[in-house]
Amino acid sequence: MVVELSAVKSVSPWQTHSVRIVSVKAEIPGVMTYRLKFVDQAVGNSFTVEPGQFNMLYLPGYGESAISVSGYDPENNELLHTVRAAGNVTRALSRLVVGDELGLRGPFGQGWPMETARDGHLVLIAGGLGFAPICSAIETAVQQSSRYRRISILAGARSPDQLLYGQQYNLWKAAGAELRLTVDRATSQWSGNVGVVPLLVNRIEISDPATTTVMMCGPEMMMWYTAKAATERNIPAENIWLSMERNMNCAIGHCGHCQFGPAFICKDGPVLRYDKIASYLKIKGL
Ligand SMILES: Cc1cc2nc3c(=O)[nH]c(=O)nc-3n(C[C@H](O)[C@H](O)[C@H](O)COP(=O)(O)OP(=O)(O)OC[C@H]3O[C@@H](n4cnc5c(N)ncnc54)[C@H](O)[C@@H]3O)c2cc1C
Ligand code: FES
């Protein structure tokens, strides 16, 4: 199981390190979680990462893709990455098996403000594959649950078979977290909520909005309406954090590929504060 995520430094942002696939777990159709271990143990020993950061995974002949760290096991120097086979690189990755090697550089970007959220109510919200970066925050929070007054996890997917990390739900609940799930389309076996993720925000108790922190990742439309629902519950905009996605290239703020308003998602994000980006979220195609 995933252990603690802690503070970090990388060697050189351009240097790609070899990692070996230790295990592959089929999560939902087309989405796998890869457990990766550094081939050079010394590199693994010096590698640390914060929840919410991402790595660039490199497959020679195909290219690089930005992939969030969904978990990190510092004892074994193993990283978890949950990947949807979407295009060139990620489809090639889906053909690899245990024992195969690929390249990794990172970690990059600003992660979730776990310390800022301390002592308050932490609300972690995921939509679809946005569960991957949220998962690293959940694992960190439930392992240090005494640091938070309350932990609420809200997640949604199109249908029950699209919900990620089902095997971890009982562990999270056993650690004291509240878990609420919703789907757009129910099946006959589904007894949970039906509807969009923002509706879940209205169902949880928020006793002290000023000390409540919201962290979310999912489709931008979902995040827009969820942030709106949170502010309507009097949670200050500066307590709301979103993980954003844009096409990446250099991952270190040099190429401009990931520009979003004045921010570079790779360097200033991917986790950004809602009040700083709300006006740009409204601009279609930005
Ligand atoms: C910070 C960050 C974290 C990410 N974390 C994950 C993760 O944990 N798991 C995961 O599966 N994916 C994640 N992604 C998305 C992933 O990087 C892209 O899906 C990936 O680049 C696809 O690479 P590819 O070469 O397989 O597809 P490509 O052949 O590059 O692209 C496939 C299609 O997706 C489009 N596309 C590529 N990248 C993006 C993007 N970032 N946003 C919107 N459209 C895009 C392309 O234009 C094309 O239409 C993340 C992206 C970012 C920026
Ligand atoms: S990916 Fe190059 S500036 Fe962000």
| Listed residue (109, 104, 155, 118) closest to 134, CA to CA | 155
Closest approach atom of ligand 1 to CA 85? 26
Output the pTM of the full model.
0.92
Q: Residue 11: its pLDDT value, please? A: 59
Residue nearest ligand 1's atom 48 by CA: 87
Q: Residue 6: its pLDDT value, please? A: 46
Q: Residue 281: its pLDDT value, please? A: 87
Q: Is 217 in the pocket of ligand 2 (CB under 6 A)?
A: no
Closest approach atom of ligand 1 to CA 69? 8
Q: What is the DSSP letter of 207?
A: S
Closest approach atom of ligand 2 to CA 256? 3
Amino acid identity, residue 260?
Answer: F
**Which residue stretches of 57-130 are H helix?**
88-94
Is the previous residue joined to 198 through a cis bond, with omega within 30 degrees of 0?
no
For the chain, the C-alpha Rg in angstroms (whole number) is 18
Is the previous residue joined to 270 through a cis bond, with omega within 30 degrees of 0?
yes
Pocket test for ligand 1, best of 68, 165, 242, 258 (most atoms within 8 A of CB): 68
Is the previous residue joined to 107 through a cis bond, with omega within 30 degrees of 0?
yes
Give the ligand whose atoms come closest to the C-alpha of residue 94. 1
| Listed residue (95, 103, 125) closest to 30, CA to CA | 95
Sign for the pseudo-dihedral over CA of 128, 70, 114, 262? negative
Q: Is 257 in the pocket of ligand 2 (CB under 6 A)?
A: yes
**Cα(105)–Cα(15) distance, integer angstroms:** 6
- Parallel, antiparallel or unpaired: strands 150-157 and 178-183: parallel
| Listed residue (41, 38, 30, 75) closest to 55, CA to CA | 38
Query: In a 10 Å sphere around its CB, with 0-12 CB exposed, 13-18 middle and 19+ buried, how is residue 197 labelled?
Result: buried
Q: What separation in Å is there between the alpha carbon of 84 and the centre of ligand 1?
A: 9
Q: What separation in Å is there between the alpha carbon of 220 and the centre of ligand 2?
A: 19
Closest approach atom of ligand 2 to CA 254? 3
Domain segments of the chain as ranges: 17-108, 121-243
Residue 159 token pair:
């249908």
Query: Which pLDDT tens digit goes with each residue over 85-141?
Result: 999 999 999 999 999 999 999 999 999 999 999 999 999 999 999 999 999 999 999
Q: Residue 8: its pLDDT value, please? A: 44
Query: Which pLDDT tens digit goes with each residue over 181-206?
Result: 999 999 989 988 999 999 999 999 99
CATH class of 17-108: mainly beta
Counting every residue written for the chain, the total comes to 286
The topology under which CATH files domain 121-243 is Rossmann fold (3.40.50)
Q: What separation in Å is there between the alpha carbon of 177 and the centre of ligand 2?
A: 36
**Cα(245)–Cα(265) distance, integer angstroms:** 7
Q: What is the DSSP letter of 110?
A: B
Q: Which residues contact 141 (CB under 8 A, 6 or more apart)?
A: 114, 122, 124, 147, 148, 151, 177
Q: What separation in Å is there between the alpha carbon of 168 and the centre of ligand 1?
A: 25
Q: Residue 3: its pLDDT value, please? A: 44
How do the pLDDT tens digits run along the chain, 286 residues long?
444 444 444 457 888 999 999 999 999 999 999 999 999 999 999 898 999 999 999 999 999 999 999 999 988 889 999 999 999 999 999 999 999 999 999 999 999 999 999 999 999 999 999 999 999 999 999 999 999 999 999 999 999 999 999 999 999 999 999 999 999 999 989 988 999 999 999 999 999 999 999 999 999 999 999 999 999 999 999 999 999 999 999 999 999 999 999 999 999 999 999 999 998 888 877 8
Q: What separation in Å is there between the alpha carbon of 247 and the centre of ligand 1?
A: 6
Q: What separation in Å is there between the alpha carbon of 195 and the centre of ligand 2?
A: 35
